[in-house]
Structure 1
Amino acid sequence: MKVKTILLAGGRGTRLAPLTLKRAKPAVPFAGKYRVIDFTLSNCVNSNLFDILVITQYRPHSLNEHIRNGRPWDLDRGFTGGVHLLHPFQGVKNTDWFSGTADAVLRNINFVRHGSPDLVLVLSGDHVYKMDYSHLIKYHCKTGADATLCTTRVPMEHACHYGIVKTNENQSITGFLEKPKKPPSNVASMGVYIFNYEALERVLSEDAIKDVEKLDFGRHLMPYMLEKGYSLFAYPFSGYWVDIGLIDSYWQAHMDLLLENPPMDLNDRRWVIHTRSEERPSTRVLQNAHIHNSLIANGVVISENAVVEDSVLSPGVFVGPGAQIRQSVILNDSVICQGSRINRCLIDKMVVAGRHSQIGRVEDRHDLGITCVGKNTHLTENLSVGRGVKLGTDLRAEDFNTFGNLIVPDNTSFRVDLSKY
């Protein structure tokens, strides 16, 4: 049984800005040493799937650099498969960008067809979870379905952000609603699909599908297949799964890793999450520093009298003397200067928080959300940034004069418009 895996990794991730202003969503760093896409790639190789097409589009440079030839995932193969990065291209007829998840597959159908696969597994590169796809494949073959999609239960208040699946008692799909305003249930599509290759190519070749603008699996292909009488089944997944497409969900996924019994164990040697790692020196912790319930990556320096609690520090982060970091995620090579206080924040790479600044003020008002600072922004000394603020990339001292008195009010967004990028 030949399986071709398609990993969709071209999303802009507008709701995750400013973390996605300079990178695709699957390339966003996660859990101190990984990228988000590492989890799906590792699921593939741990499931003995080694023939993988990664379809990119928006700002693919970080992904290209990270994946390269696929060696960390044992995907540096040739004749037997391996990983291949597919980018948008200009052909005789196709002159536009990919305009939907299914459109991206349709435009690369020649690459999908290569090797004559029996099944096509379609995955998203921006979800964090562990899953053995071999169980899904066996289930799909047993049901005799044309297509099978994975489902999970999400909080009812978030169900409007997902495709909602209706099934009968045998898990045969009887209805599919893409992001309904009033969801009838919380059984949501995970964006994980497996197709019989012949059925997938046949449905993608039909004029009624090819002519659809922004052709999407959830919004168009699955409802169309139901309407035309294709056999669709659901595969219920009960493990931990999170779509990190929102600032709050990205932050919460990190906090989940810090629980006493985390829902996803990164230390499980039976299911290793592989990644391309940088060479960094050992972590250094100076005298009287206090670290509690945190993930600290290589190359981090925590100075004297600093406090790090319930936080994730990525490689190369420097924490100055007396600085305090609580319930925050700090990405690579950021500098938290002396006396600064960081609370419920996401700090992107190479950010400098000036001395005695307060980012995400300490008032107990959790409803205001997570403060987020974009890549390579330098925050001035004594700057006070409120809860739920979004600051863009590459900001400097002169930019903060806009606010006066060095105070950025709660829930402000400043230079995070994706249309500029």
Structure 2
Amino acid sequence: MFKNEVVAMILAGGEGRRLNILSAKRAKPAVPFGGKYRIIDFCLSNCVNSGIYCVGVLTQYNPRSLHEHIRIGKDWDLDRLNGGVFLLQPFISDADTDWYRGTADAIYQSLRFIRNRAPELVLILSGDHVYTMNYRHMIEFHKKKKADLTLAVIQVPIEEAHRFGIITVGAEGEVIRFDEKPENPQSNLVNMGIYVFNREVLEEEVEKEAMREGTSFDFGRDIIPRMIQDKRVFTYSFSGYWKDVGTIDSYWEANMELLGEESPLRFKDIDWPIYTPVADRPPVKFGRDAQVENCIIGEGAIINGKVSQSVIFNGVYVSEEVKIEGSILMNDCYIGKNSQLERVILDKGVMIGEESRVGGGQVLNVNKKYPEVLWSGITIIGKNSRIPSGCEIGKNCIIGADVDENDFPSLIVFSGETIEKPSMEV
């Protein structure tokens, strides 16, 4: 155990606009994942499994579900007298501090918390990535290099590299160039958003940035590019599974990858458990005509139809003569008799009426309202929405949260269309 040597700070305040309605009522790290978990569970479990028991979680956007999920940290063995988990939010004071302006500002507003614990090192993590990693190895590497800052890096497909900070590395592993989300990246070695800082250096850098006019107060855009000029900044190469699930496509892909014969994410490893609050649910029940092929099925689910290549969360009810393929159904969804779902993501509490068809068809139009969100054929339905019986919803459609039967102008929703709850504003 690191005791007071390391304090971990998890950045968990992201709005997650690219996840659209999945993060409309919750922070991105609180989005359900893998039939049982929340995204932040991986980060919290990595800390505990690495022997780090003092963890600050920096929340901001729609924090309620995240706070309810973590509570006092008991499920991660973080309900401790010494150390533990701390939920930290932006504040207003006589220094006129307000909403986090960027990732570095979130840490700046939490300096008092860090100083009170006086660690030697500060581990900064992004709470919206899915991976298992032993932070102890990175910390030991950081100390061996006598670094001021060490950042974890990984290689990604070159077509995805523009979403990340691009790293250029010297002969000894030192960072010689950092380009934050370039349009045309020249490398696929990217920043994972995992940093080990010497505490004094971190304090100096964020306080210096707070005084600079025009700053975006971001580690990738401001602090790291400046530090590589006069500080010892090194990379720690990570070769395991790591996924930024910040888009609908990457979120869907990460869930589907869990279904492979050899899942790249070792979330079933008994030596590296992923902790999460345990639901009090009855066992899964399969009806006499149920057919299930290559699925994850959560507790309390009742399956009476045919489900294949899908992730089914707790309490989902699948009626008779239903066919579900390549889909993600979150807690307590209800699928009416003789309905079909293909490449669909349902948020919690969605009800699909009988004789409905969601996500099928041959037509593939990019979503008209959110073309940057849906274009590959996935359809998403928001929390607690009600889909009328006999409805046909095409590919790349978005049905917003809390939509009910009366909000549908027609029982046919063509590919690329969006239906949202009418605004109540006058």
Q: In the alignment, what sits opposite 2:76?
A: 73
**Do the aligned partners of residues 182 and 50 (structure 1) sit closer, same or farther apart at CA in structure 2, a change above 3 Å counting?**
same
Q: Which 4+ residue blocks in structure 1 deviate beyond 4 angstroms?
A: 207-210, 364-367
Partner of 1:198: 200
Match status 1:398 vs 2:398: no
Deviations 1:87-142 (A, max 9, x none): 12211113421111100000111101112110000001100000000000000001
Partner residue, 2:228? 226
Report Cα offsets for 1:213-244 as digits up to 9, x if no partner. Answer: 431111111011123x1110011100000011
- Cα distance, 1:382 vs. partner? 1.1
Cross-structure match for 2:261: 260
Amino acid at match of 1:46: N
Does the Cα contact within 8 Å between 2:364 and 2:396 map onto a contact in 1? Answer: no
Distance 1:137 1:416, change over 3 A: farther
Distance 1:138 1:131 in 2: 14
Measured in 1, the distance between the counterparts of 2:124 and 2:315 equals 35
Aligned-pair CA distance for 1:210:
4.8
Aligned to 2:303: 302
1:232-275 Cα deviation digits (max 9, x unpaired): 00111000000110000000001100011110132210000000
Residues 154-181 of structure 1, C-alpha deviation per residue, up to 9 Å, x if partnerless? 1111111100011012210000000001
Partner of 1:377: 385
* Structure 1 residue 417, shift from structure 2 partner: 11
Which residue in the other structure is 1:150 paired with?
Answer: 152
8 Å CA contact 1:101–1:216 kept in 2: the answer is yes
Mapped contact 2:364–2:416 kept (Cα < 8 A) = no
Opposite residue 233 of structure 2, the aligned amino acid is L
Does the residue aligned with 2:21 lie in a helix, a strand or coil? coil
In the TM superposition, residue 365 of structure 1 has moved relative to its aligned partner by 5.9
Residue in 1 that maps onto 2:86: 84
Q: Deviations over 1:6-26 (max 9, x none)?
A: 001000000001100000000
User: Could you say which residue in structure 2 is the equivalent of 1:20?
Assistant: 23
Q: 2:167 is matched with which residue: 165, 168, 172?
A: 165
Which whole-Å deviations, capped at 9, do the CAs of 1:189-208 have from their partners, x for residues lacking one?
00000000011111122257
SS of aligned partner of 1:114: helix
State the secondary structure of the residue aligned to 1:194: strand
1:268-316 deviation per Cα after TM superposition (whole angstroms, max 9, x unaligned): 100000001210000010102100000001100012xx10000010000
2:416 matched to 1:415?
Answer: no
Q: CA RMSD in A?
A: 1.7
Instruction: Check 1:100–1:323 CA distance in 2 against 1; reply closer, same or farther (3 A cut).
Output: same
Asked if the contact 1:337–1:353 (Cα under 8 Å) also holds between the matched residues in 2, the reply is yes
Alignment correspondent of 2:130: 128
Kept in 2, the 8 Å contact 1:310–1:327? The answer is yes
The amino acid across from 1:254 in the alignment is N
- Letter matched to residue 238 of structure 1: S
AA partner of residue 268 (structure 2)? N
**SS of the counterpart of 2:178?**
strand
State the distance in 1 between where 2:209 and 2:349 align. 49
Please say if residues 257 and 263 of structure 1, whose CA atoms lie closer than 8 Å, have aligned partners that are also in contact: yes
What's the TM-score once normalised by structure 2's chain length?
0.94
2:378 alignment partner AA: I
2:111 counterpart letter in structure 1 = I
Give the C-alpha shift of residue 85 in structure 1: 0.3
Q: Is the 8 A contact 1:155 1:186 kept in 2?
A: yes
- Residues 353-407 of structure 1 show CA distances to partners (whole Å, capped at 9, x for unaligned) of 1111111014396963311000011001111111111211000111111xx3x11
Partner of 1:48: 51
Deviation at 1:414, TM superposition (A): 3.1
* Residues 46 and 289 of structure 1, relative CA distance in 2, 3 Å threshold: same
- Corresponding letter in the other structure for 2:87: L
Shift in Å at residue 416 of structure 1? Answer: 8.7
C-alpha offsets along residues 37-62 of structure 1, whole Å, 9 cap, x if unaligned? Answer: 00000000000000100000000000
Q: Distance in 2 between matches of 1:141 and 1:291?
A: 50
Letter in 2 for 1:243: D
Retained in 2: the 8 A contact 1:99–1:213? no
Question: Structure 1: 5+ residue runs without aligned partners?
Answer: none
Identity of aligned residues (%): 43
2:350 corresponds to 1:347: no
Aligned to 1:358: 357
Q: Are 1:110 and 2:112 an aligned pair?
A: yes
Instruction: Tell me, in whole angstroms, the C-alpha distance in 2 between the residues paired with 1:207 and 1:339.
Output: 59
Alignment match, 1:141: 143
Match for residue 322 of structure 1?
321
The equivalent of 1:4 in structure 2 is: 7
Count of residue pairs the alignment pairs up? 412
Contact 1:10–1:24, Cα closer than 8 Å, also in 2 = yes
Distance 1:127 1:192 in 2: 10
Q: Partner amino acid for 1:167?
A: V
**Aligned counterpart in structure 1 of residue 36 of structure 2, from 30, 33, 39:** 33
The one-letter code matched in structure 2 to 1:347 is L
For 1:415 and 1:167, locate their aligned partners in 2 and report how far apart those are by CA, in whole Å.
Answer: 47
1:77, distance to aligned residue in structure 2 (A):
0.7
Q: How far apart, in 1, do the equivalents of 2:376 and 2:58 lie?
A: 36
Is the Cα–Cα contact under 8 Å of residues 344 and 360 in structure 1 kept in the other structure? yes
